[in-house]
């Protein structure tokens, strides 16, 4: 698998443009954290608004000039757009920004997230999934690295120069590798299916922890199960699913799984590649939706998570909402919030301090007993 494109402490310019209806929202803070998680250092953030993306550069020509000046002023090695760019836009931007000066690489949000995933994958399964996602993304962009080989078919009907053959060779090699990776991941999926069937026969309630990246899912999982899963204050700290049993009393057996965090505009290549991992979520009886109560983007993050859940076919699974990190919100206290009929709306906790975790266990036990009696709540 290719190495990440962002070496440690690479100087980066972040370009965050609001487009259309999204133009009023500045989400550059999250993009800065993504770049930091990848190992880069943001030296300047360039913002702007457009009604629609420019077909050639995504940004307008004037904004491209502004980016070039900033890149040379800060001696930035890479310019990162917090949007998805086409292969042609990336190629045009690299040419324009590097003209008459040092070479400047251009990355978009998709490639940045793929880069982070490449660094975070720990298990062999995780590495296979990331490699598959990166190769499928690369297969659409081969022309970027082969601009000196772009030759057309000759007028006499002969094939072009060796460049054309090289591109086709690369596509074929990538295609063969993708096929092998998919076959290996299918084997992993079969093993997971067998394991899930065994857990299902045990009668335990299958619960998957989901939520926006860095909402505190792994910290909460560790608090509940003492699993020792890696947890850090960084985006996408966890990529690999971990499953543990949780005993909550008579008729309250729970199998709890910690899964990869979601984020807005999660690349489709990643959703597809992580099918085996996300299948744990699709097959769950209950989703423990962890929300960062202290985030000013809380509602938008919940919407992003639910969007991905719908994409993978898990939107009909009942949810138990956990408002985490209440220690960072003045006035919030641990509690189980119910509606007029007694249905649980959310549980307020702090995974860091442990406040409210007894209430969360109580809520999980309540749902597990309802499940054993055939009266699980409907989807939230």
**pTM exceeds 0.95, yes or no:** no
Are the C-beta atoms of 151 and 160 separated by less than 8 Å?
yes
Domain annotation covers residue 127: yes
Query: Is the same domain home to 207 and 347?
Result: yes
Confidence of residue 269 (pLDDT cuts 50, 70, 90): confident
Count the Cβ atoms, other than its own, within 10 Å of residue 43.
16
Query: Is the same domain home to 163 and 210?
Result: no
Q: Within the chain, where are the H helices? A: 28-38, 61-74, 87-98, 109-120, 124-138, 162-201, 217-225, 268-273, 275-282, 298-311, 357-372
Which residues sit opposite 16 in a β-bridge? Answer: 47
* 64 compared with 126, residue with greater pLDDT: 64
Percent of the chain at pLDDT > 70 equals 79
Comparing C-alpha atoms, which of 281, 302, 280, 276 is closest to residue 290?
302
What pLDDT, on the 0 to 100 scale, is given for residue 71? 96
Query: Is the same domain home to 223 and 361?
Result: yes
Comparing C-alpha atoms, which of 174, 51, 58 is closest to residue 106?
58
Domain annotation covers residue 166: yes
Give the CATH number, domain containing residue 33.
3.40.50.11060
Per the structure, the complete domain to which residue 27 belongs is given by 11-107
Instruction: Report how far residue 35's alpha carbon sits from residue 45's, in angstroms, rounded to the nearest whole number.
Output: 12
Domain annotation covers residue 171: yes
Instruction: Report how far residue 275's alpha carbon sits from residue 264's, in angstroms, rounded to the nearest whole number.
Output: 18
Comparing C-alpha atoms, which of 206, 198, 219 is closest to residue 317?
206
Count the Cβ atoms, other than its own, within 10 Å of residue 339.
8
pLDDT tens-digit map of 83-113: 999 989 999 999 999 999 999 999 999 889 8
Query: Is the same domain home to 102 and 127?
Result: no
Q: Is the pLDDT of residue 12 over 70?
A: yes
Give the CATH number, domain containing residue 357.
3.40.50.300
Count how many domains the chain has: 3
Domain annotation covers residue 239: yes
Query: Is the same domain home to 136 and 278?
Result: no
Mean pLDDT score of the chain, rounded to an integer? Answer: 82
CA-atom Rg of the chain in angstroms = 23
Q: Are strands 335-338 and 344-348 parallel, antiparallel or unpaired?
A: antiparallel
Domain annotation covers residue 191: no
pLDDT tens-digit map of 137-152: 877 776 544 444 444 4
Confidence of residue 136 (pLDDT cuts 50, 70, 90): confident
Confidence of residue 153 (pLDDT cuts 50, 70, 90): very low
pLDDT tens-digit map of 211-265: 998 899 989 999 998 866 655 555 565 556 788 888 887 777 888 988 878 888 7
Query: Is the same domain home to 160 and 34?
Result: no
Comparing C-alpha atoms, which of 368, 354, 366, 333 is closest to residue 222?
354
């Amino acid at each position: 698998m290719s190495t990440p494109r962002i070496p440690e402490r690479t100087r980066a310019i972040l370009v965050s443009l609001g487009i259309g209806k999204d133009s009023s929202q500045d989400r550059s803070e999250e993009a800065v954290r993504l770049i930091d998680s990848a190992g880069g250092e943001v030296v300047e953030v360039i913002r702007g608004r457009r009604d629609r993306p420019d077909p050639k550069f995504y940004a307008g020509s004037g904004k491209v000039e502004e980016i070039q000046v900033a890149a040379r002023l800060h001696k930035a090695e890479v310019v990162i757009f917090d949007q998805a760019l086409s292969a042609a836009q990336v190629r045009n931007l690299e040419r324009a920004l590097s003209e008459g000066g040092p070479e400047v690489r251009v990355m978009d949000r998709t490639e940045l997230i793929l880069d982070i995933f490449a660094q975070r994958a720990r298990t062999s399964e995780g590495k296979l999934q990331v490699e598959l996602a990166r190769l499928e993304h690369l297969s659409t962009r081969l022309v970027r690295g082969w601009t000196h080989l772009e030759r057309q078919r000759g007028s006499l009907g002969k094939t072009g120069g060796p460049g054309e053959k090289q591109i086709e060779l690369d596509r074929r090699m990538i295609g063969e590798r993708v096929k092998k990776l998919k076959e290996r991941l299918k084997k992993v999926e079969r093993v997971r299916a067998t394991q899930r069937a065994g857990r299902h026969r045990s009668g335990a309630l299958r619960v998957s922890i989901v939520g926006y990246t860095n909402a505190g899912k792994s910290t909460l999982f560790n608090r509940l199960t003492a699993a020792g899963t890696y947890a850090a204050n960084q985006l996408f700290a966890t990529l690999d699913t971990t499953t543990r049993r949780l005993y909550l009393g008579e008729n309250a057996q729970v199998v709890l799984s910690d899964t990869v965090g979601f984020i807005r505009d999660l690349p489709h290549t990643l959703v597809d590649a992580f099918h085996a991992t996300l299948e744990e979520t699709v097959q769950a009886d209950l989703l423990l939706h962890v929300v960062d109560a202290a985030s000013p983007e809380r509602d938008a993050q919940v919407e992003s998570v639910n969007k991905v859940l719908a994409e993978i076919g898990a939107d009909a699974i009942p949810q138990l909402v956990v408002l985490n990190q209440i220690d960072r919100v003045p006035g919030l206290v641990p509690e189980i919030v119910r509606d007029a009929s007694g249905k649980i709306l959310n549980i307020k906790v702090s995974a860091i301090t442990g406040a409210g975790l007894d209430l969360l266990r109580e809520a999980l036990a309540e749902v597990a007993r309802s499940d054993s009696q055939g009266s699980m709540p409907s989807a939230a």
